[in-house]
Amino acid sequence: ETISIQELANRMSERSVDVIKFLMQQGQMMKPGDIIEPDLAELIASEFGHTVRRVAESDVEEGIFNVADNVENLVPRPPVVTIMGHVDHGKTSLLDAIRKTSVVSGEAGGITQHIGAYQVEQGGQKITFIDTPGHAAFTAMRARGAQATDIAILVVAADDSVMPQTIESINHAKSAGVPIIVAINKIDKPGADASKVRNALLQHEVFVESMGGEVLDVEVSALKGTNLDKLLDAILLQSEILELKADPTRTAEGVVIEAQLDKGRGPVATVLVQTGTLKIGDIVVAGDEWGRVRALITDKGAQLKEALPSMPVEVLGMQGTPLAGDRFAVVESESKAREIAEYRQRVAREKQVAKSAGQRGSLEQMMSQLQDTGLKEFPLLIKGDVQGSIEAIIGALDKLGTDEVRARIVHSGAGAITESDIALAGASRAAIIGFNVRANKQAREAAEREGIEIRYYNIIYDLVDDVKDAMSGLLSPER
């Protein structure tokens, strides 16, 4: 666990200047917001006459999260599916159409409600769909260390074929090691050309069966409801190959799909049970929140006494709202739940302080995402006040490049950061750098919406230094 100099000083009840002075004597120039490694923190602490007790996550959370299943108790569980693909290729339509078929075919009663995921039945077998299409949610969850998805449905419109977000989706699925099933959508359209889609996918190393590969593909029309059962069958087939199993006899563990504060019901978290059985009365920890399960409600509005593996359920009874992607687990007592929640709140606070002090978090986060996708290029979009400074920056960044990692400038230009810069950065997964320029209001809003990082600099050296740090982060093996 790393810590900022400020936080370390606080915890020792020392002044941060004294810590910095000590570091200077050791030949290290640092600022209060700088983050230091545990070893150095320990050295400083003992230098200031403190005994160190490192509270590792494993101490507080020992035996709570990622507890292995007992092999003898494993039984098959339904697959959890996420739908990905290019915008307008029909992800939402497909999710709606699949949900509708299941309602028609009949689980009794209940009005369907959006809880972030739903379950359908095909031939007596269940399939869970994550209800947020696209890879944004998928990536956000993975960034929090959760992998909820077993199978990715790649929707490709037959009249549009492979597009940039199709490729991104492929990369996301591949980097997560999640198998793809291709749904060639909109086959009802006059211009539909399914074989063109299959061919285009070849170039991105998605080999469907008819091309000699192993990736299942199904031609569908979300609009007309064509071949949806074939798609569900393909999912079940794939899931058989994966031999998905869980242990329903143990205490539950899983991931938060979404959560919000409901006026009437208090905090409501939709969780996906990944293993074990979640029961009413269980005490759960999710992220840095905890609670006692008061009610479990399905996507069809049914109240359950318990939820089995791969089931998405709304949980009532949390003390606060956790975040999508947070892992949850059942613990034995309220005091244990509190301890973990408080520990995690403290860690989160420290990270926040470190981030606002050092402004380092996000670039590095972005780098680790890049690494997920296997990229060793660092895409940047650079806006500056004058052409001369932009050229100087690009020149300096060029020099940083190595055989393994380099900056790729997707766009550069003089002037303020605009909405179209955000769109371009979004499409190419680039960070935006503003040198002596700012983003206008629309651009700021768009960046917020799209979760795109804008960094402002007025000293070239600082800029280059940050990029350098981020690049070396990309290369270090422990990330």
> Annotated binding site for GTP, which residues?
85-92, 131-135, 185-188
Tokens of residue 204, six digits: 């991105």
Cβ 157 to ligand GDP, closest distance in Å? 7
Q: Which helix (H) or strand (E) holds 93?
A: helix 91-104
Identify which of residues 160 and 314 has a Cβ nearer to ligand GDP in the complex. Answer: 160
Binding residues: 85-92, 131-135, 185-188
* Element housing 36 (H / E): strand 35-36
The least distance separating ligand GDP from the CB of residue 189, rounded to whole angstroms, comes to 5
Q: H helices within 209-297, ranges in order?
A: 228-242
Give least dist CB 198 to ligand GDP, A: 17
Torsion of CA 455, 456, 460, 462, to 10 degrees: -70
Short-list 81, 75, 353, CA closest to 216 = 81
Q: How far is the CB of 173 from ligand GDP (least distance, A)?
A: 16
Which residue, 190 or 477, is less far from ligand GDP as judged by CB?
190
The residue written with tokens 């929090």 in the block is 144
Helix (H, G, I), strand (E, B) or coil at 328: strand
Q: Please give the angle made by the CA atoms of 322, 324 and 326, to the nearest 5 degrees.
A: 65
Distance CA 106, CA 100 (A): 10
Question: Shortest Cβ distance from residue 446 to ligand GDP (Å)?
Answer: 18
Closer CB to ligand GDP, 92 or 125, in the complex? 92
Q: Which whole-number Å values give the CA distances from 136 to 150, 231, 283, 302, in the listed order?
A: 16, 23, 30, 29
Considering the complex, state which of residue 32 and residue 90 has its C-beta at the smaller distance from ligand GDP. 90
Contact between 180 and 173 under an 8 Å Cβ cutoff? The reply is: yes
Single out the residue of 402, 398, 399, 410 nearest to residue 376, CA to CA: 402
Min dist. Cβ of residue 203 to ligand GDP (A): 21
Residue 353, φ and ψ in degrees, nearest 5? -60, -45
Only one residue has tokens 């007790």, namely 53
* CB 251 to ligand GDP: min, Å: 37
Residue 164 φ/ψ region, left for φ over 0, alpha for ψ in the -120 to 50 degree band, beta for the rest: alpha
- With tokens 């101490």, the residue in question is 59
Q: Which residues bind ligand GDP (CB under 6 A)?
A: 85, 87-93, 133, 185-186, 188-189, 221-223
